[in-house]
Amino acid sequence: MAKQDKSIIKAEEMVLNMGPQHPSTHGVLRLKIHTDGEIVSKIEPIMGYLHRCFEKHCENLSYEQVVPFTDRCDYLASMHMNHAYSMSVEKMLDIELPERVEYIRVIVAELQRIASHLVACGVFGLDVGAITPFTWALRDRERILDLFEMLCGARLLYNYIWPGGVSHDLPPNFIQYTTEFLDYFEPMLKEFDNVLTGNMIFVERTADVGIITPEVGVNFGVSGPTLRASGISHDLRKDEPYSVYDKFDFDVPIGKGIMGSVGDCWDRYWVRMREIEQSVKILRQAIAQLPEGDVHSARPKKVRPPKGEVYSRYESARGDVGFYIMSDGKNIPYRLKMRSPAFCNLSVFSEISEGWMMSDVITILGSLDIVLGEIDR
Amino acid sequence: MNSLVDSLLSLLSFTELPYSVLVVVAILITGIHIFLLMAIFATLAVYFERKVSAFMQDRLGPMEVGLVGFKGGRKFWGGIGQTIADALKLLTKEDILPNDADKKLMILAPFIIFMGALLTFIGIPFSDGIIISDFNIGIFYVVATSSIGVIGIILAGWSSNNKWSLYGAMRSAAQIISYEIPLGLSILLPVLVVGSLEMSEIVAWQSEHRWFILHSPFTFIAFFIFFISGLAETNRTPFDIPEAESELVAGWMTEYSGFRWAIFFLSEYASMLIICILSSVLFLGGWLSPMTIFNIFPDSWLFFDGPIWGIFWLFSKALFLIFVMMWFRWTFPRLRVDQLMHLCWKVFIPFALANLFFVAILELIFL
């Protein structure tokens, strides 16, 4: 069905308050929805319910102490946040990392990407009404969390990747367990695809809904899988390879509009599913190439970057994370600013969801895969 | 005329009370039994549903609560007491009515929905002769009473004074009223062929000829139209848009809790049972044993027949259909409102009308 033309019938508008306590706003987002019957005429997202003064806190903490705070930004992809922040600090300090550290970082980051995309796809199914795929996704994510627990003792907020290294070396058997997980996971991914991806009702609900055209996507600063679904191949792992990503062979899946048009909700879901496959591919290569070495050798005794500023970008599960750090030569940052991908992705939400129906609003919001911890910081 | 009320009346005739008193007594007794059936079925069905969903989702489901005096444990009791505990919790919960709600209507709504389900059971057969009252407009009556519930839903949604409830109620009203048309058109097929609105007549026809689903390709399609429309009538997935929990929180039930909510739940499961029994009676041979499916076996083969086995067969068929409903619920996503209407008005109704037309022609040719 095409977008409703709201000029046909004009009735009184009803303002509906969705959230912050609502099952489908993915946290504490509040949406003020102006509705005309089932059709949404205007949406105002209101955020800030989870604001924890992350950036202000950072101005009073030493560089090492910021790492646990980055965990709490994107709590579904904490490793990415740790990694992104550590990379920017290392760029300031100009540290050369041991190979092993880089490989371990890639392994945990890709495991984290799988875990995060599993939640995104599962919850997207839940938003559309399919409950079983969600539980399957969480079941498989659980295995990744078990691996992380083995690695650093935490299941959600890891504080694992530190400036200059990682907190612990890989535990014995970690590589074996990871390989076992990958062997187990690939058939499960196919099963997930079978039950949800091609489902007629699912396609009806998501294809051609909430289209982000490439122009709109770029203009609003959308990034990550959400932008790639619009047909733009923009992946920092490929475009500006950081860490050791240039040593791996992987593709960047982009939306092709297989079920509808390019950039619809189904494409965003599909791109995430294909990215999981690519992450598995990277993981297998990283495990095969993993070198030996000391993971703590490059850890600086004292993190005291020279006066100056740095901005570094990182491809997290949600998109383009940027950390801008300004140093005045002390051991605490003078100013720290984070570019939140989910925030930019959410900004396009009211643009693309006006004129759709109530149910579509939920679908579109689910397909953007926002994490409120990162939006509000 | 062979029905439970009739046999009760003849059973009670020794008391030599006036007929009007006897009728009241008979109605009370049967009414209590219907209520018990609904309550027990809802309890078991909730347990069954949770176990089915757990099986499909790779989990265990309820496992801890055993029966009275027995501690649970996965070996033996398997959490069978969980729904009983849940029901007790619902009954002892605080009764909440929102301040701005229309209190009279809000109290009234669950009872209207419940009444619809309760009244429908009067015309629902459980086996040969085991029916509360087998009147000659049986199907017509069942279709009429089962749609009383929608009034209760609209009342519940409107009186709650909550925008989410209002959305749920409006969606529900549109959905239930629309889907009654393909449902009714599919019911017309057996009625047309048999020439009677009486349930027992329809099953008698099937025992003489064959199951109705195999009468012709058209009735085969009609069975699916009937069952899927039934899913929409009972607000089950993929048509659960009135209470779509990811969109409308809980739809028209948002403001209800405790006992009133339990009544909604009871009626929902009762209407599931009604739809499944109706589909078995109309299309799957009702209380006939599966040996009669083509009616080609000699009579001596039909050993598992008769009223008591009839209950077994009817409930086997109905429970299988209920399992299919649960299977759908835990597999499919949910349709959108306009897609739901599209399916009803542009797919089901034309097909149901065509079915009716072709079956009528078949009857003209072969009669």
197-256 in chain B: CB under 8 A from chain A: 237-238, 240-241, 244-247, 249
Contact B333 A38 (CB under 8 A): no
With CA atoms as reference, the chain A residue closest to B240 would be A129
pLDDT tens per residue across span B150-170: 888 888 888 888 888 888 888
With CA atoms as reference, the chain A residue closest to B342 would be A1
Contact B57 A359 (CB under 8 A): no
pLDDT tens per residue across span A311-327: 998 888 888 898 999 98
- How much is the pLDDT for A145? 92
d(C-alpha A97, C-alpha A243), whole Å: 9
Mean pLDDT across A41-45: 86
Contact A204 B59 (CB under 8 A): no
Mean pLDDT across A157-165: 87
Contact predicate A130/B332, CB 8 Å: yes
The fraction of chain A above a pLDDT of 70, given in percent, is 97
pLDDT tens per residue across span B276-294: 988 988 888 777 777 766 6
Mutation site, A16, A132, A206, interface B, largest B CB count within 10 A? A132
- How much is the pLDDT for A1? 47
Q: At B222, phi and psi to the nearest 5?
A: -60, -35
Closest partner residue to A195 (CB to CB) among B240, B331, B337 is B331
d(C-alpha B43, C-alpha B149), whole Å: 21
With CA atoms as reference, the chain B residue closest to A125 would be B333
With CA atoms as reference, the chain B residue closest to A37 would be B167
Domain ranges of chain A: 14-376
Mean pLDDT across B330-347: 87
Complex ipTM above 0.95?
no
Contact predicate A293/A100, CB 8 Å: yes
Least confident of A17-21, A255-259, A288-292, B292-296: B292-296
Q: Is B181 strand, coil or helix?
A: helix
pLDDT tens per residue across span B201-228: 888 888 777 788 887 888 888 889 999 9
Which residues pair with residue A311 across a beta bridge? A324
Residue B275: pLDDT over 80: yes
Which residues pair with residue B127 across a beta bridge? B130
> Which of B228, B242, B308, B328 is closest to B275 using CA atoms?
B228
> Which of B194, B267, B181, B177 is closest to B226 using CA atoms?
B181
Cis peptide before B238 (omega within 30 of 0): yes
User: CB of B67 within 8 Å of any CB in chain A?
Assistant: no
- Confidence label for A5 from pLDDT (cuts 50, 70 and 90): low
The fraction of chain B above a pLDDT of 90, given in percent, is 2
Contact B163 A360 (CB under 8 A): no
Structural tokens at position B334: 């949910």
Contact A130 B339 (CB under 8 A): no
Closest partner residue to B331 (CB to CB) among A23, A38, A132 is A132
With CA atoms as reference, the chain B residue closest to A366 would be B246
Beta-strand relationship, A39-46 and A30-36: antiparallel
Chain B residues with CB inside 8 Å of A360's CB? 336
pLDDT tens per residue across span B1-54: 467 777 777 777 777 777 788 778 878 888 888 888 888 888 888 888 888 888
* CA A106, chain centre distance (Å): 15
Chain A residues with CB inside 8 Å of B167's CB? 38, 358
- How much is the pLDDT for A114? 92
- Confidence label for B68 from pLDDT (cuts 50, 70 and 90): low
Contact B335 A14 (CB under 8 A): no
Q: Which secondary structure element, helix H or strand E, spans residue B130, and what is its range?
A: strand B130-131
| pTM reported for the whole predicted model | 0.84
Domain A14-376: homologous superfamily in CATH: Cytochrome-c3 Hydrogenase, chain B (1.10.645.10)
Outline where DSSP puts E strands in chain A. 14-18, 30-36, 39-46, 161-162, 165-166, 308-315, 320-327, 335-339
Closest partner residue to B163 (CB to CB) among A1, A14, A360 is A14
pLDDT tens per residue across span B71-113: 554 555 667 778 888 888 888 888 888 888 888 888 888 889 8
Chain B residues with CB inside 8 Å of A38's CB? 167, 337-338
pLDDT tens per residue across span A169-214: 888 888 899 999 999 998 888 888 888 888 888 888 888 888 888 8
> Which of A354, A352, A181, A158 is closest to A268 using CA atoms?
A352
Distance (Å) from the alpha carbon of B318 to chain A's nearest alpha carbon: 24
